[in-house]
Amino acid sequence: MLSRMAESLYWIGRYVERAEQTARHTEATFRHTLVMGSTPEAETRRHRHWAALLDIVGERAAFPPDGPPVDDETVPEHLIFSETNANSIVECIGRARDNAHTMRHQMATEMWEALNRFHLDVQRPGRRRVAASDAEHMTRFCRSIVDFSQLLQGITDSTMPREESWYFLQAGKFLERAEWTTRTIDVNYRLLVGEELEHGDRHALDTAWDLQPWGTLLRALSAYESYHRIQSRGVHPSAVIEVLTLSEVVPRSIRFSIGKVDAALAHISEEAPAYNGSEPMPGSSGASEARREVGRLHAEFAYQRLDDLLDRGLHESLLDIQRRCYRIGDLIEHEFFAHRPLTAQEAMI
């Protein structure tokens, strides 16, 4: 397939996943902070949680000390509706739709219609006014984003042939998910254990007394029920981190997500040309650095334990995973997507 089509599918996967993750975390932060009360101490805690959400999505720079306040009005508005924030939910939906528009004839009608219809819906001024009116409507709007993402995934699963196009979509989605889960654990870990970090990671996890935020973290990553199916001792910080990083069965764990990226690139590199008679993609050779890097990271997860992450330092371990995910993304862009002017023949396809 043409590399420009592969790139469009890859970024549709990333943008839709990014929109869903932003919606999940915004909704979870709303629900967690609404019950904190109105005391000065509660306001300080509320501010810290909204600031942590900005750190997760990488938008702290948009709220400098002399800028707008960090609260439950300004942060959701920036993360959901802002046109100046390239990673806001409406912008991500718009970019996913634009990528799909360039290759409408290459995807199922149902997939295009779902994406286009939802893009037009979130652009309606009336929909935005209602969503921004209060916390309840904002959380409902976030839930509609999650529902749309899951609907689109269901349509995709039931309509797309399992060829290169499918695997590029999966590679984008799960690489985005791995990055989000890694950042979420890292930021929340430092937020929730705080000053106990000076005594070491194990001490900080063993002495954590407020377990409710850890349950909120599981819900934000849609892993609360899965966690309780795996763990029988209730919510405990070290067990939460272990499940979200090293579980091979929880769909939003880092290990699971990296495994899906590895499988997708392996199929693109090794299997797809054999069964459909196509020419290999630009980077689909045994010497692919993207394939090698993600395979190495996946193999390391297969033999790691939580103690290995804690011995090195949890923050340092998660930071290293983030950097490697970013490198994998850069390598995929470099090896598989030809950033060059299209020929006249390609432009007509």
Q: What is the mean pLDDT of residues 62-70?
A: 91
Query: Could you tell me if 44 and 167 lie in one domain?
Result: no
Tell me: pLDDT of 303 over 50.
yes
Q: For 305-340, what is each residue's pLDDT tens digit?
A: 999 999 899 999 999 999 999 999 999 999 998 665
Q: What is the Cβ-side half-sphere exposure of residue 240, based on CA atoms within 13 angstroms?
A: 29
Q: For 14-58, what is each residue's pLDDT tens digit?
A: 999 999 999 999 999 999 998 888 888 989 999 999 999 999 999
pTM of the entire structure?
Answer: 0.91
pLDDT-derived band at 181, boundaries 50, 70, 90: very high
**Among residues of the chain, what percentage have pLDDT more than 70?**
90
Query: Could you tell me if 278 and 134 lie in one domain?
Result: no
Domain, as residue range, for 291: 162-349
Q: For 121-143, what is each residue's pLDDT tens digit?
A: 999 988 888 888 888 899 999 99
Write down how long the chain is: 349
Tell me: pLDDT of 285 over 70.
no
Query: Could you tell me if 336 and 209 lie in one domain?
Result: yes
End position of a domain, from candidates 134, 160, 186: 160
Q: How far is CA 280 from CA 1, 129, 268, 347, in A?
A: 9, 48, 8, 20
Query: Could you tell me if 177 and 119 lie in one domain?
Result: no
Query: Between 258 and 346, whose confidence is greater?
Result: 258
Query: Could you tell me if 150 and 194 lie in one domain?
Result: no
Query: Could you tell me if 225 and 138 lie in one domain?
Result: no
Tokens of 210: 């407020």
Query: Could you tell me if 2 and 151 lie in one domain?
Result: yes
Which pLDDT score is estimated for 195? 58
Which pLDDT score is estimated for 272? 55
Q: Which of 113-127, 223-237, 268-282 has the least mean pLDDT?
A: 268-282
Tell me: pLDDT of 348 over 60.
no
End position of a domain, from candidates 105, 139, 160: 160
pLDDT-derived band at 277, boundaries 50, 70, 90: very low
End position of a domain, from candidates 122, 144, 160: 160
Average pLDDT, the chain: 88
Query: Could you tell me if 282 and 312 lie in one domain?
Result: yes
Query: Could you tell me if 87 and 72 lie in one domain?
Result: yes
Query: Could you tell me if 156 and 211 lie in one domain?
Result: no
Q: Which of 15-24, 196-205, 276-285 has the least mean pLDDT?
A: 276-285
Query: Could you tell me if 166 and 286 lie in one domain?
Result: yes
Tell me: pLDDT of 75 over 70.
yes
Q: What is the mean pLDDT of residues 105-120?
A: 92
Q: Cα 40 from chain centroid?
A: 33
Q: What is the mean pLDDT of residues 53-65?
A: 94
Smallest Cα–Cα separation from 241: which of 193, 296, 302? 193
Helix (H, G, I), strand (E, B) or coil at 163: coil
Among all chains, which residue has been given the structure tokens 């939580």?
A: 306
The distance in angstroms from the start CA to the end CA of the chain is: 11
**Residue type for position 167:** Y
**Residue type for position 19:** A
Tell me: pLDDT of 347 over 60.
no
Which pLDDT score is estimated for 196? 59
Q: For 142-156, what is each residue's pLDDT tens digit?
A: 999 999 999 999 999
Please state the domain count of the chain: 2
Query: Could you tell me if 101 and 127 lie in one domain?
Result: yes
